[in-house]
Chain A
């Protein structure tokens, strides 16, 4: 079945550092790919998405490119801020699927 694997956390960085959170997936066909963010005490919010190969999703300085050849959707940000501290979830929706499949989440902490 469809699955998503994220890099294990927690990840701790200093402010203004470069961020990469790896995400790879297994799915048949052409899934849609998502990154969600969960701030402390809140539900999940959609951060960005890509629906076809080579698409780049971007939002709030974060970017991720849908790479079908490597089945990856890595999240990047050039300069992180303390306010980016949260848990980040990679997810996919298979073709014709009625649900999202989530990775296990990566906790990110940014120190000033």
Chain B
């Protein structure tokens, strides 16, 4: 148990579907992150939330829509995805002012777009 839980672990969706990825942490952290990990590519930071406000959005297409309703939960809403969006999506959290302690990662959601 890493302290950061992601659901579902695996997701297969069609290009016209709408789905959501969920991330939950009970570590008392107040910053949360979405990363995309594709085969043979570096980790891509997608979104950063600090104190429930989005502080970074790295030119992510609008078909990815994040939501952070409180400091313990983070969602990634998906719609009209493309096959190249198939990847492992990782959520992480940290104590915002103490990011130098590092992140705690979830196990990821393996997304396949068909």
Interface residues of A (CB under 8 A from B): 32, 34, 36, 41-46, 49, 51, 89, 91, 93, 97-100, 102-105
Contact = CB atoms under 8 A, between A and B. Distances in A.
A98 B31 contact: yes
B105 A32 contact: no
Interface in B71-105: 90, 92, 96, 99-105
A46 B102 contact: yes
Contact of B2 (A43, A93, A97, A105): A43
Contacts of B107: 41-43
A51 B2 contact: no
A44 B56 contact: no
Contact of A99 (B2, B6, B48): B48
Interface string B42-61: 11010010100001100000
Contact of B102 (A34, A42, A97, A104): A34
A51 B33 contact: no
B45 A44 contact: no
Contacts, number: 56
A100 B2 contact: no
A103 B48 CA distance: 18
Interface in B1-54: 2, 4, 6, 31, 33, 42-43, 45, 48, 50
17 contacts: A32-B100, A34-B102, A36-B105, A42-B107, A43-B6, A43-B92, A43-B106, A44-B90, A44-B105, A45-B2, A46-B102, A89-B43, A91-B102, A93-B99, A97-B99, A99-B99, A103-B42
B108 interface: yes
The 10 closest A-B pairs by CB, nearest first: A32-B100, A43-B105, A104-B42, A44-B105, A43-B107, A102-B43, A46-B102, A93-B100, A43-B108, A43-B106
B42 A102 contact: yes
A100 B99 contact: yes
A42 B108 contact: yes
Given A42-B107, A102-B42, A102-B43, 4 more contacts: A43-B92, A49-B101, A89-B43, A99-B33
